[in-house]
Amino acid sequence: MGGYDQGLMLLERLDLRAVAVADLAGALPPPVWDELVPTEAVAAIVEEVRHGGDAALRSLTARFDGVEIDAIRVPVAAVSAALSAVPLELREALELAYARVTEYHRHQRAEDAAVTVDGVVVHHLVRPVRRAGLYAPGGRAQYPSSVVMCAAPARVAGVEELALCVPPRADGTVAPATLAAAAVCGIDEVYRIGGAQAVAAMAFGTESIRAVDVVVGPGNRYVAEAKRQLAGRVGTPSAFAGPSEVVVVADGSVPPAWAAVDVLVQAEHGPDGLAWLVTWDEGVADAVAAEVERLVEASPRRQDLQATLGRNGCAILVADAEAAMAVANIVAPEHLELLVADPAGLLPQVRSAGAVFLGPYAPASVGDYVAGPNHVLPTARTARFSSALRVDDFCTHIHAVEVDRQALGALGPAVVTLAEAEGLPAHAASVTVRLDAEPAGSSAGGTGRARTAER
């Protein structure tokens, strides 16, 4: 996909109506993500923060954000004051979003359980991490909604401490709307640090920022790549939450302007994202493309829209609805909109998508704010194997095994056989030494529990 040219339509046309479903993957534009991943640059930032701590954070903030900062943490009083300073309707909207997102995520919470089979009791223990690091993007826009989306499942999981990193504005402050969201969500600490350096700071810890157990949240390609590089040092969801994406499947059952604005919704986040229209109706492709031109021309975020569409904006013509869904599954988009007469009929064909929005009155923006499910979603085709941010991303699962003598007698021989096959005699002996001994409690050598019972 080439760069933006005033003489070209913003949505590059690709006619695949003659291509068989099995051959669509090879006919689609290749992912642009691999060529954009700043692997070496992020690795250098991570190492700078690892060894330089707070001094590195200040230097990197001056370099990338153009801001000289002293105190890295935003004072607690400033966070509280922001909630009173923002317009009432914004505060109420944040509180509504937090309540709805929290309620949805309560249904994901797993409880301790135990399963008993033939004398073997396996306890399933669910434990929240103690400290989570949240990231909310900044720079081109403010994203209080990302604060809500990260904090709500963490609180439902039972995380004790939440630390939030946000890029500073040009004057060195954090946007009041973002601070107000932090107050609504009960964020414990807010730091005015962004980019890959923020992820590294939360992973390693610095003089000002204590290390966390997991790092979550959407961000640009530097943020997403930093999380990928630091996975293992700190917990990170498998989803690659990078620049935003949308695939709109349309059949002409909704006005072209509706489909066009939905193509642009995610594109206005800025460059490196993806904005595709997929249809089997040439008239729809023409009408939506024309509406996209009109909307972009009038948008105050025209440059961001042009940057995204010029690199990865496309109107794809396919043979039928089956082919359209095949394209969607290949792309595995962050957002998939089904603007068709029977969206529920196509839903069973969805295999890979971060979130799906059905019908004319469910634009992806509803999911971005108040629908309830999380808007921190997989991008860069990672929806093939990962999901939206969930309560489980803030939890560990521990199993505890309890075995009685009778069960060990029944299962032990298999343990011995397998251990001997692997050449691990101590593994085998750990079973045979128990089976060869007198049952616990049958003599003075019994367990403390048995002796207590006898008394």
Q: Give the residue numbers annotated as catalytic, written as ranges.
A: 334-335
Q: Which residue has the tokens 């073997």?
A: 120
How far apart (Å, rounded) are the C-alpha atoms in residues 163 and 439?
Answer: 52
SS3 377: coil
User: What is the rounded radius of gyration, in angstroms, for the C-alpha atoms of the chain?
Assistant: 27
List of residues 6+ apart from 66 with CB closer than 8 A: 170
Give the Å distances, CA to CA, from 235 to 215, 217, 228, 238, 241: 6, 12, 10, 9, 14
**SS3 breakdown of the chain: % helix, strand, coil, rounded to 5?**
50, 15, 35
Burial of 242 (0-12, 13-18, 19+ CB in 10 A): buried
SS3 255: coil
- Please give the structure tokens belonging to residue 142: 């403010």
Phi, psi of 440 (to 5 degrees): -55, 135
403 DSSP assignment: E
Angle between helices 88-106 and 144-157 (to 10 degrees): 40
How far apart (Å, rounded) are the C-alpha atoms in residues 272 and 311?
Answer: 7
How far apart (Å, rounded) are the C-alpha atoms in residues 16 and 27?
Answer: 8
- Please give the structure tokens belonging to residue 59: 């230097």
Let me know: does 327 contact 247? Beta carbons within 8 Å. Answer: yes
DSSP line for 18-52: TS-GGGHHHHSPPPSHHHH--HHHHHHHHHHHHHH
Order of strands, edge to edge, in the sheet holding 395-403? Answer: 113-117, 120-128, 395-403
How far apart (Å, rounded) are the C-alpha atoms in residues 422 and 443?
Answer: 35
Angle between helices 302-312 and 282-298 (to 10 degrees): 150
List of residues 6+ apart from 109 with CB closer than 8 A: 156, 157, 391
Phi-psi region of 20 (alpha: psi -120 to 50; beta: other; left: phi over 0): beta
